[in-house]
A and B are shown apart, each in its own frame.
Chain A
């Protein structure tokens, strides 16, 4: 598959700790995006990083992209209970032209 694949699948952490998720892909991309999905809801776009960027920040989120290793990581710092959700990475590698393929998702549980 050419779509993103997150690792690990499930993560349980204490509030205040950092959470890191990884994503790999198999072909060249234009950009890579991370989304959050709360239970029973739609996906929410968090951050987009372009293939010529190496790192991007948004609030408590930090995303890195290593195109030589075809991988990305999402770091959530100082986690909160409200960060409990599934996190997906998505790339346009599989379909191209702004069509995203999503990975299977990481479930993150933040324990208060």
Chain B
């Protein structure tokens, strides 16, 4: 397995633009997580899916953020409109159901100017 695959690796966009981050979890992993990492706040859990269903999106900072998981092999995190304070590294992770270690993707470094 190639691991959790995220794209793009880097994204630079202007304030107000829409940004879409993509994630392909490990096949067979039932849980998918989106995290945001900044120097100030560390790793923050944004949203958690189990069997493609959003279970907890209480970490999504604002309505500008939305996430979908249309099938077991694909998830997106969308920011519309983007703002400079959204600049961060966004990680997707997956894990088997029932607990256990997470497998993280390499992250998307987002810069909003």
Contacts and interface: CB of A to CB of B under 8 A. Distances in A.
Interface of A: 30-31, 33, 35, 41-45, 48, 88, 92, 95, 97-105
Interface of B: 4, 31, 33, 35, 42-43, 45, 48, 55-56, 91, 93, 95, 97-107
A105 B43 CA distance: 9
A98 to B, nearest CB: 5
Given A99-B33, A103-B42, 18 more contacts: A30-B99, A31-B99, A33-B102, A35-B102, A35-B104, A41-B107, A42-B93, A42-B104, A42-B105, A42-B106, A43-B43, A43-B102, A44-B104, A45-B103, A92-B99, A99-B45, A99-B56, A100-B102
B91 A42 contact: yes
23 contacts: A31-B99, A33-B101, A35-B102, A41-B107, A42-B4, A42-B91, A42-B105, A43-B91, A43-B93, A44-B104, A45-B101, A48-B100, A95-B45, A95-B48, A95-B56, A97-B55, A98-B95, A98-B98, A99-B45, A100-B33, A100-B102, A101-B45, A102-B42
A95 B44 CA distance: 12
Interface of A: prevailing SS: strand
B101 to A, nearest CB: 3
B104 A43 contact: yes
A42 B25 CA distance: 14
Contacts of B104: 35, 42-44
B51 to A, nearest CB: 12
B95 to A, nearest CB: 7
Contacts of A95: 45, 48, 56
B33 A48 contact: no
